[in-house]
């Protein structure tokens, strides 16, 4: 009888330990976003995997096929997707887009991605959806990061960011979005050398003639960024009215058969008493966002256009 009790006790302890391990693992997985999930990345393997990816995603033979009167296109460009920033709201905003069966190009800031396990998981799930394109949005998103860079300096940042995206997401982006929508001419040279096919920067920077390298700046935006707008952001002075967003998009469709709508997750969020952006929706602005999506869908129908991403314009 005593032996049987010992066996039961051992069995109970084993069950308890297994349960404890499972609980600890779950808690760790939930709260370990600040832990580098790839602590011991072998740099040789890192570079080797990137080179293999480049071979499989070789875009050198791809040509840019521009929209026509018979194939008008609306592209949603959501910038500032990044590690540890606007995570909860970004996921909701993207879901709202996909729930309406709309495509969206996500401008991903590469720096810091390696340390954000949940964002890596999220993006690896999203990349399987044909309505999603992941573009490179600079490297670290410092102020006007690519505005004055020479070709060598630009190339170093472009390649390092591209490697991060390639290693952790297993894709090679073909679209580049410079932070603050500005870049030097040398940056364009570096992008072409790196194999990028599309540059999407500021308004007015659109060139729909080069079949090897397309320049498609935003033509409509939901928020006007600048010193005055930032200073008065809580009053909403920088927020663009929905009707203006739609009007700008319609005018662009009529003039060049293409509309690129630039949006940012933080456009729709609250600020705390210290003017710091919170990962929490401002209800008025969020409703404005939903209205924008719905009216863009109506515009698409009226103009006989399609929602697409930049990479959809490549013919390889």
Domain boundaries, position 149: 43-315
Mean pLDDT of the chain: 86
- Any idea what the Cα angle at residue 256 is, between residues 254 and 258, rounded to 5°? 90
pTM for the whole structure: 0.83
Position 30 in a domain: no
d(C-alpha 38, C-alpha 115), whole Å = 8
Q: Could you report the per-residue pLDDT of 140-188, keeping only the tens digit for each?
A: 999 999 999 999 999 999 999 999 999 999 999 999 999 999 999 999 9
Q: Count the domains in the chain.
A: 1
7 in a structural domain = no
Query: Would 193 be classed as within a structural domain?
Result: yes
Structure tokens at 210: 């080069």
Domain membership of residue 26 (yes or no) is no
**Does the residue 34 lie in any domain?**
no
Asked if residue 17 is part of any domain, the answer here is: no
Q: How far is CA 305 from the centre of its chain?
A: 23
Query: For residue 202, what pLDDT is reported?
Result: 86
Nearest to 162 by CA among 200, 120, 110: 110
Confidence of residue 209 (pLDDT cuts 50, 70, 90): confident
Q: Are strands 73-81 and 104-108 parallel, antiparallel or unpaired?
A: parallel
Contacts of 163 (CB under 8 A, 6+ apart): 46, 47, 50
Residue 191: inside a domain: yes
* Cα dihedral sign, 289-294-297-302: negative
As beta bridge partners, residue 263 has: 78
> What is the per-residue burial (b if ≥16 Cβ within 10 Å, else e) of 281-307?
bbeebbebbeebbeebeebbeebebeb
What are 145-157's pLDDT values in tens digits?
A: 999 999 999 999 9
CA R_g for the chain: 23
User: Is residue 165 one of the residues assigned to a domain?
Assistant: yes
CATH number at residue 296: 3.20.20.370
Q: Note the pLDDT of residue 33.
A: 40
């Amino acid at each position: 009888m005593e032996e049987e009790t010992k066996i039961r006790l051992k069995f109970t302890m084993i069950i308890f330990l297994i349960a404890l391990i499972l609980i600890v693992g779950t808690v760790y997985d939930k709260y370990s976003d600040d832990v580098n999930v790839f602590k011991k990345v072998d740099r040789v393997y890192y570079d080797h995997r990137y080179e293999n990816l480049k071979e499989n995603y070789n875009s050198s033979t791809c040509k840019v096929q521009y929209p026509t009167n018979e194939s008008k296109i609306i592209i949603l460009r959501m910038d500032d997707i990044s590690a540890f920033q606007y995570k909860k709201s970004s996921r909701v905003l993207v879901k709202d887009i996909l729930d309406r069966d709309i495509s969206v190009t996500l401008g991903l800031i590469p720096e810091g991605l390696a340390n954000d396990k949940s964002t890596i998981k999220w993006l690896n799930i999203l990349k399987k959806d044909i309505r999603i394109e992941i573009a490179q949005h600079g490297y670290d998103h410092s102020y006007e990061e690519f505005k004055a860079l020479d070709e060598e300096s630009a190339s170093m940042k472009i390649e390092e960011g591209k490697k991060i995206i390639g290693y952790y997401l297993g894709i090679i982006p073909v679209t580049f979005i410079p932070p603050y929508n500005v870049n030097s001419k040398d940056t364009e040279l570096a992008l072409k050398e790196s194999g990028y096919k599309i540059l999407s920067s500021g308004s007015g920077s659109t060139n729909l003639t080069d079949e090897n390298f397309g320049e498609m700046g935003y033509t409509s935006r939901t928020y006007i960024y600048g010193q005055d707008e930032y200073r008065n952001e809580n009053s909403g002075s920088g927020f663009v009215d929905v009707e203006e967003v739609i009007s700008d998009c319609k005018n662009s469709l009529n003039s060049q058969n293409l509309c690129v709508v630039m949006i940012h997750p933080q456009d729709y969020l609250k600020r705390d008493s210290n003017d710091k952006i919170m990962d929490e929706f401002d209800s008025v602005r969020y409703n404005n966002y939903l209205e924008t999506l719905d009216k863009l869908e109506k515009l698409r129908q009226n103009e006989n256009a399609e929602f697409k991403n930049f990479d959809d314009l490549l013919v390889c």
